A and B are shown apart, each in its own frame.
Chain A
Amino acid sequence: MISSAPLATAGSISPAPHMGLPIPNSKLGMWLFLGTEIMFFTALIGSYLVLRLGTEPWPADPHWTHIKIAAGATNTFVLILSSYLVVLAHKSILKRQIARTQTALIAAFLLGLVFLGIKAYEYQGKFEHHVIPGQIPETPLQAQEFFLNDVDKASLAWIHQLQPGEESIFKREKDLLKRIEQTEAQNLDEGIIALSDQDLNAAHAALDWRSQIETLHILAASNKLPQTIDPTALNAAPQADSLEQAAVTAGLPGSLAWMKAQPLIGPHADPLHLDASMPHGNLFASLYFLLTGFHAIHVIIGLILFLTVILQGPWLTISSATYLENVGLYWHFVDLVWIFLFPLIYIV
C-alpha cells in the first residue's frame, strides 16, 4: 500500500491523495474476478484429478476416446496466437492506431472461431461414436443390454413407420401383430392395412426377430442366457471388435448386418450402439465435456467481449484502452486455462 502512516498519531500528517493500488478500479476488479475464475477452474480441474486418479483403468485408448492430440495441439497454438494478437491490439490502441487495433482484434476473433470450430469437430466425433455421458456401456452385460435396447428401438421405429398413427408405439406394435395374424389367418384384407406380400413377410421376419431379441433381452437382464447362445462369446465382447460381432459369433438370430440390409428396417438401424463396453467411459465423457465445455463457454464470452470492441469499428478511441486491456486479461486467462487443460486431457 502506498501510505503507511503510523497508527495512532495526533497532529496533522498530510495524507497521500490516493490510497490503494495505482491501477484503475476496473482493472483491479478484473484481476479479482480472474481470481474467482481461477478457483472455479481449480475446482473443476481438481475434481478431474481426484476422479481420474481414483479410477483404474482410465480410458486412454485414443481409438475409443476419440481424443485427437493434433486437434488439441492446433487449438493450443491458435489460442496462443490470438492472445498475442490481443496484446498487439492493446499496444496499437495506446498508439491510437485504430485500424491496426481492429485488424488485430478481428484476427484474434477469427482465431477464436477457429478454436470453436475445431472443438465442434472434436465434439462431433465423440457424438458420432456415442462417447456421451450416460450412454456408454461399462460392462459387456451393459453393452449387450444397450445393443438390444437400440435394436428394440430401431424395430419399433420401423413398425411405427409401417403404420403411422396417434396411438402409442407399443399399442400400435401389438395391434400390428394382431392384424398381421388376422390377415394371415383369414387370408383377406379388409382394408385395415394394405400390405404387400413382400411387406408382410418382412414384417413377420422383423417381428419374429424382434421378439427373439426381446426374450434375449429379458433373459440377459435376469442373468439367465439360454443355452443355445454361448455366453462366453457374449462376455468376450470387449475383445471382439464390437458387440455386434460377438453377437454374431454367439449365434444370435439376425445381426446388425442383417438388419441394415433390410430395406425397411435399415434406415432405423443407424443410431445403434456398436462399440464394445468401456469401463469408466461415462466418467471420462462426463469430465471431458465438463472441462472443455466450460472452457468453450469462456471462449464464447471472450468472443462476445471482442465483438463489443470490434463493433465500434473506426469509432473506437483510446478511451477504450483500459476496457480492451481488461478484455485482453480475460482472454489470456482463457488461454491459460487451455494450456492447463490440453496436457491434462489430451496428453497425460
Chain B
Amino acid sequence: MSATYPAAQTLDHPHEHAHTQANFLTKYVFSTDHKVIGIQFLFTTIFMLFVGGALALCIRWQLAYPWTELPFIGGKLFAAQAGQMTPEFYTMLFTMHGTVMVFLVVIPILAGAFGNYLIPLMIGADDMAFPLLNMLSYWFMWPAIACFALSMYYEGGPAAGWTSYPLLAALPQAAPGSGFAQTLWLLGITFVGISSMMGSINYMTTIINMRAPGMTLFRMPMTIWAMFITAILQAFALPVLTAAGIMLICDRVFHTCFFVPGGITVNNASPTLGSGQPLLWQHLFWFYSHPAVYIMLLPAMGMISDILSTMCRKPLFGYKPMVFSMLAIAGLGFIVWGHHMFISGMNPVMGMAFMVSTVMIALPSAIKTFNWIATIWGGKIVFNTVTLNAIAFVTMFVVGGLSGIFMAAVPVDIYIHDTYFIVAHFHYVLFGATLFGIFAAIQYWFPKMSGRMMNEPLGQIHFLLTFITANGTFFPMHLLGVAGMPRRYADPYIHQYLEHLLPMNQLMTWFAIAMGVSQLLLAFNLVYSFFWGPVAGRNPWNANTLEWQTPSPPPHGNFDHPVVVYRGPYEFSHPDHPDADFWPQTDPA
C-alpha cells in the first residue's frame, strides 16, 4: 500500500467534512454518517426481531395449548378471562408478527442496516450520496414503529393479517380491530414506504455515481449488486403499495369506494355505497409484496456469495451468471404477483400465465444455488460460525424454494393455498434463508463494525441450536399443510379432522420456544463481544473487498488512504499471486 494513488474524488461531493463539533447527539443519534445509521438500523431491527419473535411465541402457545392461560402476560392482559387470549387477540398477534418481521426486521435489516453500512465501504466512497436523506430514512422508521405500536393499543389491534385484504381491512365495522387500529397500521406502512423510498434512491445514486476509481460495474462485489437490484425493486415496486395504502385509508376515512363494492352489509351496519373491486387491492398489494419477498432475499444472497467465496478461499463461481440471474429474478419478480391470487376468483387464464412466469422464476434461483455449491467445490473451507450460517442459508433456501414450486402449480395450490404449507414455505425462505443469511452477515461484518471478533464457540452453539430448532419448528408445518390445516386459525382443533394434529403442534411450539431462547445467545454474544471480544484488525478474514482495507471500525470518511480498484473482488488463491491466498481489490501489484 505504498504507491501513490490518483485522488479518489467524486463530482459534486468534495471532501468537506464539517463535522468538527461532533457532540453526542450529532455523532450517535442524529448522525448523517452511513456507518452510524447502519448500526442504528441494526440495533433497532434486532430489537424488533425479539418483539416479532415474542409475538410468534404467543401464536405458538395458542396453537399448542389453545385457550389456556398465556404464560407470563396472559394474567395481566386477560384478567377477565382467566388469562386466556381472545380470538381477536390471536388475529392481532399474527398480523403484527408478520408486519413486524417483514417491515421492521427483514427489510430494514437488509437494506437499512447492511445496505447502509456496506455500500459506501464496499465501493470505496466516503459516505452516501445524500447523507441527510439517509438519516431521515432511519428516522422515518420511528413514526412507523409508533403507528404499529399504537395500533396494538386500540381495541383489537389491526386484525386483517399482514396482507390486509379489504373488505375486512376496509370497513371499520368488519372486525373489532378494524377500527382506528387498522388505519394506524396503514399509516405505519406508508411511513415504512417513505423510509424505504428515501433509502433506495440514496443507494442507487451512490452505487451508480460514487464508486471509487477502477470499481467498474463488473468489479462490484455481489453484495453491492444485490443491494443495487434490491434498491431498484424497492424504488419501483414500493410506490404501488404506498398508493394502494393511501387508497385504502381513503376508503376508511373519506368514504371513497376503491375497494368496496355496493350493498355489502357487514355486522348489521347499513349497506355500503359504491362499486369498487376488492380484488384490486390484492393486485396492488402483491405487485409490491411479491418483489418485496425478493427484497427480503436478494441482499442476503449477495452477502452469502461474498462470504462463501471468502470462506472457501476461492473465486465466486460464475460471477456474471450470478449477476444476471439476480437481474432476472428482479425482472421476473414484477410479473408473478398473481401466484398469490390463484383462487381469488381472478380470471383462470391469468392463473395459467402466472403459473408459467412463477416456475420460470425458479430458474435464476436454481442457477444461483448451483453456483454457490460450485463455489465451495474445490475450495478450502473454514468451518466457523459465519460459514455454518452461510451453508444453512443455501440448504434452507433450497427447501423453501422447492416448496414454492408446489404452490406455483395452480391445481396443487387450490388445495394448499392458505394452509400451513404456505406458512412452512415462507418461514423456510424468510427464517431459513434470509435470517440465517443475516446471522452470517452479522458475524462476518461485526469485526468491521466494532473492531472486535465475535465469540466463536458461542456462535457455533447458537448456530447449532437455531438450525435444529428452526427445522423442528418449521418442517412439520409442511405436513400440517398437507393435512389440510388452514392458516390464521386460532383454534384448528374444533374441526374434527384436525384434532390429531395437536401433539405435533405442541412439539413445534416447544421447538419454537427453544429457538427463542437460543436467540438470547446471539444477543449475549453481540453484547459480550462488543466489549470483550478479541481485537480484530483491519482484515480478519483475509478478504479482498474494500471495506477490509481500512481500519476497524472505519474512521469518519471511511478510508485512511485514497482508494483505487485494480481487480475484481474474488481473486482468491490466484496462481499469479503466490504470497497470499487473497489479493485485495486495492493492491496495485
Contacts and interface: CB of A to CB of B under 8 A. Distances in A.
* A contacting B, Cβ–Cβ less than 8 Å: yes
A156 interface: no
Contacts of B589: 10
A18 B125 CA distance: 11
Contact of B215 (A19, A138, A287): A19
Interface in B237-251: 237-240, 242-244, 247, 250
Nearest to B287: A43
Interface in B536-583: 564-568, 570-571, 574, 576-577
Contacts of B10: 18, 25
A168 interface: no
Interface stretch (A47-55, A181-189, A339-347): A47-55
Contacts of B319: 7
A287 B277 CA distance: 13
B9 interface: yes
Contacts of A212: none
A292 interface: no
Contacts of A3: 214, 216
Interface residues of B, number: 67
Contact of B209 (A16, A25, A47, A322): A25
B563 to A, nearest CB: 10
Given A10-B567, A39-B240, A50 B280 contact: yes
Contacts of A280: 275
B227 interface: no
Contacts of A55: 275
Interface in B198-237: 200-202, 204-205, 208-219, 235-237
A21 B204 contact: no
Nearest to A18: B11
Contacts of B209: 19-21, 23, 25, 28
A134 interface: yes
Q: Among B197, B202, B315, B577, find the residue whose CB has the most chain A CB atoms closer than 10 A.
A: B197
Contacts of B283: 50
Given A8-B571, A19-B211, A133-B257, A36 B588 contact: no
Contact of A134 (B212, B273, B287, B567): B273
B130 interface: yes
A133 B129 contact: no
A29 B129 contact: yes
A282 B256 contact: yes
Interface string A9-32: 111111111111111111011001
B274 interface: yes
- Among B9, B240, B275, chain A packs the most CB atoms within 10 A around the CB of B275
A246 B32 CA distance: 67
Contacts of A290: 247, 250, 256, 258
A50 B257 CA distance: 14
A280 B204 CA distance: 43
Interface in B289-337: 315, 319
B255 interface: yes
B202 to A, nearest CB: 8
A13 B214 contact: yes
A166 B80 CA distance: 37
A36 B213 CA distance: 29
Contacts of B247: 44, 47, 290
Given A51-B277, A290-B258, A4 B201 contact: no
Contacts of B242: 40
Contact of B588 (A8, A12, A133, A287): A12
Given A25-B129, A47-B280, A138 B216 contact: no
A283 interface: yes
A37 interface: yes
Contacts of A15: 6, 213-215, 564-566
B255 A134 contact: yes
Given A36-B197, A283-B257, A138 B273 contact: yes
B24 interface: no
Given A47-B243, A134-B273, A24 B237 contact: no
Nearest to B12: A24
Contacts of B219: 5, 7
Contacts of A39: 235-240
B275 A138 contact: yes
Given A4-B216, A286-B257, A20 B567 contact: no
B423 interface: no
A152 to B, nearest CB: 15
A135 B280 CA distance: 22
23 contacts: A7-B219, A7-B319, A13-B214, A15-B215, A16-B213, A18-B9, A19-B210, A24-B12, A25-B11, A26-B130, A29-B205, A36-B201, A39-B237, A39-B240, A40-B243, A43-B243, A44-B243, A47-B284, A50-B277, A50-B280, A133-B274, A282-B275, A287-B258
Given A15-B565, A134-B256, 10 more contacts: A8-B570, A12-B566, A19-B213, A28-B209, A29-B205, A33-B201, A35-B235, A43-B287, A133-B250, A282-B275
Interface of B: 6, 9-13, 129-130, 133, 197, 200-202, 204-205, 208-219, 235-240, 242-244, 247, 250, 254-258, 262, 273-277, 280, 283-284, 287, 315, 319, 564-568, 570-571, 574, 576-577, 588-589
Interface of A: 1, 3-5, 7-26, 28-29, 32-33, 35-37, 39-40, 42-44, 47, 50-51, 54-55, 133-138, 142, 279-280, 282-283, 285-287, 289-290, 322
3 A-B pairs with least C-beta separation = A134-B255, A15-B214, A286-B256
